[in-house]
């Protein structure tokens, strides 16, 4: 909020665990603080009453916040937090998520240094296992099956992340969510990668830098600016490809929830991809 301001042109509304949402007021900020800070006498859903347990199981997270520009505003500014359900024995792929988006106009106006500074500031306050910053396609509606030209267009650019069009991102678990402009790693994932020195020794591109952060964490940067690339003109992003080869054993597996019922062949994700399209994009830096 300090970075972008609380205005109708940036952030102006909040949803609590997917309620209908309303304008940010002093009273709503009180509820935000209460939701983030309050703890109950019990720690696990097993101790909740039946109705509350059904509610959190249905939504798939224990508590959540979604800040946007408003109910009818799709301006590119958004902040979302989902706390994983604290099961006594957590599912292998269950994680808590914090996601922030800025429109490309913010990047163009303030430059990559400002975005990087904001990301590092946020990361300094989070006990993350992994995280990233880069270009991404944020959809506000599901693409039609017939929109083949749009799908072909977005898949031209390997540096634009399409995972935001996938569903169930909380299934990632202790894996790496692809390759991006800025790539953050902390424990225990960094140890699995061999530590900072071992990771640095395997990265040779002149565009790639590795910076060590406090508390045994690092950020790997693939250039000064986030790059989109363009497969039709041969811009395959070599630094991204090199990093993907290094990370391949730790990359998250492909998860495809079907989003069509009667259409054949089946379509997946909000982009209405075929299984072949999804797999080709998933391995765009590896094949």
- CA distances in angstroms from 217 to 138, 189, 204, listed in the order given: 28, 9, 20
H helices within the chain, ranges in order? Answer: 26-37, 50-59, 104-110, 112-123, 148-154, 189-192, 195-201, 238-247, 275-282
Q: Model confidence over 128-182: pLDDT tens digits? A: 889 999 999 988 888 898 999 999 999 999 999 998 777 655 566 678 889 999 9
Is pLDDT larger for residue 136 or for residue 253? 136
Model pLDDT, residue 38? 65
The three-class DSSP label of residue 243 is helix
Q: Dihedral sign for Cα 231, 169, 254, 189, please.
A: positive
Q: What would the two tokens of residue 101 be?
A: 């988006």
Query: Whole-prediction pTM value?
Result: 0.91
How far apart are the C-alpha atoms of 13 and 73, rounded to whole Å?
A: 10
Query: Looking at residues 170-199, what average pLDDT do you find?
Result: 89
Distance CA 59, CA 53 (A): 10
| pLDDT at residue 117 is higher than 90 | yes
Query: Whole-number mean pLDDT of the chain?
Result: 89
Q: What is the pLDDT of residue 167?
A: 62
Long-range contact pairs involving 20-27 (C-beta distance under 8 Å, separation at least 24):
20/71, 21/66, 21/68, 21/71, 22/71, 23/70, 24/67
Which pLDDT score is estimated for 42? 59
Under the banding of pLDDT at 50, 70 and 90, the label for residue 109 is very high
Residue percentage of the chain with pLDDT more than 70:
95
CA 56 distance to own-chain centroid: 21
Rg over CA atoms, the chain: 20
More confident residue, 209 or 60: 209
Which pLDDT belongs to residue 171?
A: 63
**Per-residue pLDDT at 206:** 96
């Amino acid at each position: 909020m300090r970075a972008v301001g609380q205005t109708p042109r940036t952030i102006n509304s909040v949803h609590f665990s997917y309620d209908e949402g309303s304008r940010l007021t002093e009273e709503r900020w009180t509820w935000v603080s209460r939701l983030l800070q309050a703890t109950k006498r019990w720690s696990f859903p097993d101790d909740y009453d039946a109705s509350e347990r059904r509610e959190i199981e249905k939504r798939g997270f224990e508590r959540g916040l979604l800040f946007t520009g408003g109910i009818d505003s799709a301006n590119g500014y958004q902040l979302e937090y989902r706390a994983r359900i604290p099961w006594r024995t957590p599912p292998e792929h269950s994680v808590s998520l914090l996601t922030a988006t800025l429109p490309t106009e913010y990047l163009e106006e303030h430059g990559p240094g400002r975005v990087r500074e904001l990301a590092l500031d946020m990361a300094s306050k989070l006990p993350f296992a992994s995280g990233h910053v880069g270009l991404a396609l944020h959809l506000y509606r599901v693409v039609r099956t017939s929109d083949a030209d749009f799908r072909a267009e977005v898949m031209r650019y390997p540096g634009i992340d399409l995972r935001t069009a996938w569903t169930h991102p909380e299934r990632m678990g202790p894996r790496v969510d692809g390759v991006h402009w800025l790539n953050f790693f902390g424990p225990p994932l960094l140890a699995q990668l061999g530590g900072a020195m071992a990771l640095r020794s395997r990265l040779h591109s002149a565009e790639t830098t590795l910076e060590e952060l406090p508390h045994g964490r690092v950020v790997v940067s693939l250039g000064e600016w986030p790059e989109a690339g363009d497969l039709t003109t041969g811009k395959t992003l070599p630094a991204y490809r090199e990093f993907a080869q290094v990370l391949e054993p730790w990359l998250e597996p492909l998860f495809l929830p079907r989003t069509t019922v009667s259409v054949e062949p089946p379509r997946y994700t909000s982009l209405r991809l075929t299984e072949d399209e999804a797999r080709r994009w998933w391995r765009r830096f590896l094949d």
